[in-house]
Amino acid sequence: MKTFLKILSLLLVALSIVAGGLFFFYGDEMDGAEFWESTIEAYEAEDAARFPDKGLILFTGSSSIRLWSTLEADMAPLRVLNRGFGGAHMDHVVHFADRIIAPYAARAIVVYAGDNDIGAGKSPETVEADFRALVAKVREDQPTVPIYYLTIKASRLRWKLWSSMLEANRLIGAIAAEHPGIHIIDVSTPMIDRGRGGKPPRELFLFDGLHLSAEGYALWASIVREHLLADLGTR
Domain hosting residue 47, numbered range:
2-232
The CATH number of residue 91's host domain is 3.40.50.1110
pLDDT of residue 146: 98
pLDDT < 50 stretches in the chain: 2, 4-27
Task: Please tell me the predicted confidence (pLDDT) of residue 2.
Answer: 46
Kindly report, residue by residue over 30-44, the tens digit of the pLDDT: 567 788 899 999 999
| SS3 assignment, position 143 | coil
CA–CA distance, 174 with 160 (Å, rounded to integer): 23
Whole-number Å distance between alpha carbons of 152 and 185: 10
What is the number of structural domains in the chain?
Answer: 1
Predicted TM-score of the model (pTM): 0.87
Count of Cβ atoms closer than 10 Å to residue 65 Cβ: 21
- The confidence score (pLDDT) of residue 32 equals 73
List the one residue out of 131, 110, 145 whose CA is nearest residue 175: 131
Quickly count: other Cβ atoms within 10 Å of residue 234's Cβ.
8
